[in-house]
Amino acid sequence: METLVENIQSRLAGKFTSCTVAFDEVTIVVPRDKLIDVCKILRDDAAFEFKQLTDLCGVDYSTYGSTEWSTEATTETGFSRGRVNSSNSRHQWQHDRFAVVYHLVSYSKNQRLRVRSFVDEQEPIIPSVMPIWNCADWLEREAFDMYGIIFEGHPDLRRILTDYGFIGHPLRKDFPTLGHVEMRYDEEKARVVYEPVETEMRVLVPRVIRDDQRYADHEEKE
Amino acid sequence: MAEIRNYTLNFGPQHPSAHGVLRLVLELDGEVIERADPHIGLLHRGTEKLAETKPYNQSIGYMDRLDYVSPMCSEHAYVMAIERMLGIEPPIRAQYIRVMYDEITRILNHLLWIGAHAMDIGAMTMFFYTFREREDLLDCYEAVSGARLHATYYRPGGVHRDLPDRMPKHEVTNRGQKRLDRRNYNRQGSLLDFIEDFTNRFPRYVDEYETLLTNNRIWKQRCVGIGVVSPERALQLGMTGAMLRGSGIEWDIRKKEPYAVYDRLDFDIPIGVTGDTYDRYLVRMEEMRQSNRIIRQCVEWLRKNPGPVMIDDQKVAPPKREKMKDNMEALIHHFKLFTEGYCVPEGEVYSKVEHPKGEFGVYIVSDGANKPYRLKIRAPGFLHLAAIDEMSRGHMLADVVSILGTQDIVFGEVDR
């Protein structure tokens, strides 16, 4: 792992913004204009040989660190109810809204690497890595389907998992878990009809963030 | 001059050999495939989105439902990801139990695969044979977790409970006591006795399957030289597991990046030579024998080493029921754990296991809450199915069935 970090420092100098080791995994953050360049080096350079792309996925950081239930200073006033879309945010997210995360594996070196690249909300466009790793085809289609991230240079960027004619990007944090439409068979029209969802979203277990002292030194190490 | 016309054919979503709900749009020139375009997502349930709205422990059951023919392996990847983030290590006995059940799962999966694959190609008998053995293994699932398929047996910090001392027996039959006794002969002892008896019988069963298929002329005609993948292409197409090993690349996460107790066990990794359907068949058959070997070693170890199967950390694992009766703290822990769960430190982890179908990965991003911020499931079948276009190009229509079979597709994990 140390050699991998050293190789990254020496061979990719100036091409990445940060390189961190956490939970025995190496993550590098690459600006999107240098992504293709970096990926080519990672695949072809004899020091890396990341011949396979294991996984590619999008992440939406827009509600990162926000909770549905404020658990501090509640003893005097009593507990509030857990609510969807409450705005208790613990920390402000510093980067762009979306990220594309690539997991690479090198069979010859027995190493793994995570590459992350941020894209902003207004222009969620990132170059496609399909020419470098062919298997990115469906993975990019999935990320497009789920997050609306556009992969420039992808030859066939269609939706993949959602229904034909689906509207919206379901894994975005502002997309409700219940969705927008529900469908049923209408006997009079003798076809399937779509209608707005009637059910209301409930919080069963509120999302909370607690400071756990046991992991205090754990976090310092990162 | 005759007009030449290409056909576009819809294969599925209701085709019996489409292994569930695949709509495959095929462009045909006569009977030769020019392009295969799979339309997936008919079984999309939004597992990833659902997991984001639930505390960590409540999503273990979703992992079973991803690849519903090999549930426990997917659970393993998920609980390992949480364990790594929490920085806890399950007791050694729990790890042996997990490995044993992982391998039972592998055999379960391969039995279904070979049964369905052979039936697609026309060998009906295989299906009956393999389901006979699956029945025994599903009883092992049931004995330990109460459910035959969706076990939810692995938990962060260990497994739900220890192996039972008594194997449940068949009770009712309308065909007489003698037959009942015969069915119960290997259920007199504990679960481990039953599993050991199975491992004694199983190699002979695999021989039986091989007699039916390996040198079978029809089987060979349908498999040899079909869906050939070169090692370079296998890497490029993101193939893992038996699909990669069939092409001659020796890579098995159990050996190369050992998790649980695989580094203490003795087993071999079979690899293929040509990368065709027949080689992948041979690889998987050998994997079943190797899994059998691993199970035997686990049974032997588990007999000798009793111990806890869950860590003694009440922030993650529920306290014992008896303790809750007179211990206030245990009661509070139980309440907090089941109403709120536990908070996982901030960070991200990618954990992977050698699933029967390939590399199954779980990528969790946590912002420190009691629910995952983002859960990504890396399903091996998803990338294998993406390769079907390349694998089936130039083959006949009937070979698509053979290629789908060799990919061992299960839509639960492809569509998620």
Is residue A105 one of the residues assigned to a domain? yes
User: Which residues from A are below 8 Å from B41, CB to CB?
Assistant: 160-163
Residue A173: closest CA among chain B residues belongs to which residue? B49
If one counts every other C-beta atom within 10 angstroms of the C-beta of residue B357, the result is 28
User: Which residues is B9 bridged to in the sheet?
Assistant: B26
Residue B79: band (very low, low, confident or very high) from pLDDT cuts 50, 70, 90: very high
Residue range B268-277, pLDDT digits in tens? 999 988 888 9
Q: Does B313 contact A at CB distance below 8 Å?
A: no
Residue-level pLDDT at A89? 59
Q: Residue A87, Cβ neighbours under 10 Å: how many?
A: 9
Structural domain of A46: 2-61+96-162
Q: Is residue A86 part of a domain?
A: no
Set of chain A residues whose Cβ sits within 8 Å of the Cβ of B40: 160-161
Looking at the structure of chain A, the number of domains it has is 1
Confirm whether A130 is domain-assigned. yes
Instruction: Say if A167 falls within a structural domain.
Output: no
Res B362 pLDDT > 90: yes
Does the pLDDT value for residue A219 go beyond 50? no
What does the pLDDT read at residue A178? Answer: 86
Domain assignment present for A206: no
In a domain, A66, yes or no: no
pLDDT digits (tens, 9 = 90+) for B207-259: 989 998 888 888 988 888 888 999 989 988 989 988 899 898 888 899 888 88
Q: Does the pLDDT of residue A4 top 60, yes or no?
A: yes
Residue B321 CB-density burial (10 A; 0-12 exposed, 13-18 middle, 19+ buried):
exposed
Tell me the per-residue pLDDT of B260-315, one tens digit each, with 9 for 90 and over. 899 899 999 999 888 889 999 999 999 999 999 999 999 999 999 888 999 888 88
CATH code for position A138: 3.30.460.80
Domain-located, residue A183: no
Residue of B nearest to A143 (CA): B376
Say if residue A220's pLDDT is above 60. no
How long a stretch of residues is chain B? 416
Of B251, B340, B350, the CB nearest to A25: B350
Residue A55 belongs to a domain: yes
Residue type, A97: R
Question: What is the rounded average pLDDT of the residues B22-51?
Answer: 88
CA distances from A100 to A123, A131, A186, B70, B416 (A): 14, 17, 41, 29, 19
Confidence of residue B94 (pLDDT cuts 50, 70, 90): very high
ipTM summary value: 0.86
Cβ–Cβ below 8 Å for A137 and B386: yes
Instruction: Give A119's strand partners.
Output: A98
**pLDDT for res A78:** 57
Of the pLDDT bands very low, low, confident and very high (cuts 50, 70, 90), residue B90 is very high
For the cut 60, the answer to whether the pLDDT of residue A81 exceeds it is: no
Residue closest to A74 by CA, chosen among A220, A208, A214: A208
pLDDT tens readout for residues A192-202: 898 888 888 88
Q: Do B368 and A162 touch (CB under 8 A)?
A: no
Coil, helix or strand for B362? strand
> B101 is written with which tokens?
């059940």
B54 touches chain A (CB under 8 A): yes
B6-16 pLDDT, tens digit per residue, is: 788 888 777 77
